């Protein structure tokens, strides 16, 4: 079996979910070990989401890792919807009694959490190969892995599967123990990270006959933009000039007054999928984040949904270790899934509203296209509709 060691909570995955769980457990005096397949540079270099709900910001402050976030994060009081040849601003703060979102890259959240865990003496095993959960339906679960040519066994009370959609934890469950719900969308996002000032002070979501577009940012000098493309798109077909041209057309910036060009730091294609696996608990194995659910990025919910899972799981583990109560652990899956499905609904709705769906199998989508235009017109003219959007965008309560 190799070398053995023990902790209270064994965490698989060093993304924001696993890192935040470990850091919050540390705050409450609970031990954990994180096992991560990739090296630190890879984990800290992944380009991901950047819109944080207030609940996520509050959790990062509770974990003691929000100093740089509070200094550098960009507070957004609203965002714009572009469609039907005009733009309309959704005033988040006015529609939700002062609630806002904060733009701060997931990459930066990850860096802050890793630095905090290591500074506190937390154990993160990078480049842990062949991580496998065992006996999670018993009272003595454990994880095995190899590291630098040696085999290890990590005994623990609880296993937290925070290892993403393709991770081993969900795959280790008996097929009959989990039910999956999935929707693959017939399009993807081509995303760029550019060394250029943002197109506007707030995000711009655009519905256009040529496809969806989003103008976002990571800082006052780094822009993050997306254009809808085919799921099997070849990046080599998209020159920098073509990307900038498409953004301008779809945002309605053909006069070139908004989109600021600059050197591209990253160019990638993101598939679009809605996915939920339930339940999220199997004996001593608890799934969190992308291991249990995926949302299309249109509603800015992926990272935030992972953080809400960690909120519920942390409270359950604190109650278990400090009060010897299993009540919140038993309720974890139901509590988390209640919020998951609401976020899935909002992300699905935003995606369905703003993207250009292809005519598939000879089906003409002319009627659905008109319905999108009518929905956008209604949204731009209805205070009630805008309130619903704002309430979901800033984040439903935990």
pLDDT, tens digit (0-9, with 9 covering 90-100), for 201-231: 999 999 999 999 999 998 889 999 999 999 9
Q: Domains of the chain (ranges plus CATH)? A: 3-81+100-181+273-349 (3.50.50.60)
131-143 per-position pLDDT tens digit = 999 999 999 999 9
Q: Which residues pair with 153 in a beta bridge?
A: 4, 144
Rounded to the nearest integer, the mean pLDDT of the chain is 95
CA trace torsion 79, 83, 87, 92 (10° rounding): -30
Per-residue pLDDT, averaged over 243-269, amounts to 86
Annotated active-site residue in 111, 301, 311, 355:
301
* Residue 145 among the catalytic residues: no
Per-residue pLDDT, averaged over 99-121, amounts to 96
- The total number of residues shown for the chain amounts to 398
Instruction: State residue 1's pLDDT score.
Output: 56
Annotated active-site residue in 205, 312, 321, 332:
205
* Residue 175 among the catalytic residues: no
d(CA 61, CA 69): 9
DSSP string computed for 114-160: HHHHHHTT-EEETT-EEEEEE-TTSSS-EEEEEETTEEEEEE-SEEE
Q: Is the confidence at residue 48, as pLDDT, over 80?
A: no
300-354 per-position pLDDT tens digit = 999 999 999 999 999 999 999 999 999 999 999 999 999 999 999 999 999 999 9
139-183 per-position pLDDT tens digit = 999 999 999 999 999 999 999 999 999 999 999 999 999 999 999
Annotated active-site residue in 26, 76, 207, 225:
76
Could you give the percent of the chain with pLDDT greater than 90?
Answer: 91
Q: Is the confidence at residue 355, as pLDDT, over 80?
A: yes
Per-residue pLDDT, averaged over 69-92, amounts to 94
Cα angle 343-345-350, degrees, rounded to a multiple of 5: 95
CB 291 within 8 A of CB 170: yes
Instruction: State residue 362's pLDDT score.
Output: 73
Annotated active-site residue in 133, 141, 296, 297:
297
* Residue 28 among the catalytic residues: no
d(CA 32, CA 79): 39
Could you give the percent of the chain with pLDDT greater than 70?
Answer: 99
Per-residue pLDDT, averaged over 34-62, amounts to 93
> What is the H or E stretch that residue 322 is in?
helix 302-323
Instruction: State residue 369's pLDDT score.
Output: 92
> What is the H or E stretch that residue 278 is in?
strand 264-278
* Residue 205 among the catalytic residues: yes
Instruction: State residue 256's pLDDT score.
Output: 56
- Global pTM reads 0.94
Instruction: State residue 95's pLDDT score.
Output: 98
CA atoms within 13 Å, Cβ hemisphere of 271: 11
Neighbours of 15 (CB within 10 A): 27
* Residue 301 among the catalytic residues: yes
């Amino acid at each position: 079996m190799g070398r053995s060691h023990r902790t209270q909570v064994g965490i698989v995955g060093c993304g924001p979910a696993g890192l935040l769980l470990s850091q919050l457990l540390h705050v409450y005096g609970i031990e954990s070990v994180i096992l991560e397949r990739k090296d630190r540079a890879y984990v800290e270099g992944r380009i991901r989401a950047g819109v944080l709900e207030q609940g996520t910001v509050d959790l990062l402050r509770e974990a003691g890792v929000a100093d740089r976030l509070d200094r550098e994060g960009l507070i957004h009081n609203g965002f714009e919807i572009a469609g039907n040849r005009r733009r309309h601003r959704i005033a988040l703060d006015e529609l939700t009694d002062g609630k806002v979102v904060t733009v701060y890259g997931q990459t930066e959240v990850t860096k802050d959490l890793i630095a905090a865990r290591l500074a506190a003496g937390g154990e993160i095993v990078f480049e842990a190969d062949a991580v496998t959960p065992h006996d999670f339906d018993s009272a003595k679960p454990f994880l095995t892995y190899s590291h630098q040519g040696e085999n290890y066994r990590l005994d623990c009370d609880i296993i937290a599967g925070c290892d993403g959609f393709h991770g081993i934890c969900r795959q280790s469950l008996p097929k009959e123990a989990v039910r999956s719900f999935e929707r693959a969308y017939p399009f993807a996002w081509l995303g760029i990270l550019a060394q250029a000032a943002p197109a506007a002070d707030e995000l711009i979501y655009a519905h256009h006959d040529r496809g969806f577009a989003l103008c976002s940012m990571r800082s006052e000098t780094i822009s993050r933009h997306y254009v809808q493309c085919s799921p099997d798109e070849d990046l080599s077909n998209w020159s920098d000039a073509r990307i900038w041209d498409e953004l301008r057309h779809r945002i309605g910036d053909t006069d070139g007054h908004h989109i600021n060009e600059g050197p591209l730091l990253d160019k990638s294609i993101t598939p679009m999928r809605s996915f939920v696996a339930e339940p999220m608990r199997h004996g001593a194995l608890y799934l969190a984040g992308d291991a249990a659910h995926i949302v299309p990025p249109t509603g800015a919910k992926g990272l935030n949904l992972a953080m809400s899972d960690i909120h519920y799981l942390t409270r359950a583990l604190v109650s278990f270790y400090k009060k010897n109560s299993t009540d919140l652990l038993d309720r974890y899956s139901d509590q988390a899934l209640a919020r998951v499905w609401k976020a899935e609904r909002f992300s699905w709705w935003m995606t369905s509203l703003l993207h250009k769906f292809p005519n598939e199998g000879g089906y003409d989508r002319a009627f659905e296209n008109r319905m999108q235009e009518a929905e956008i017109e209604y949204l731009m003219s209805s205070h009630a509709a805008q309130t619903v959007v704002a309430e979901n965008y800033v984040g439903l309560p935990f």
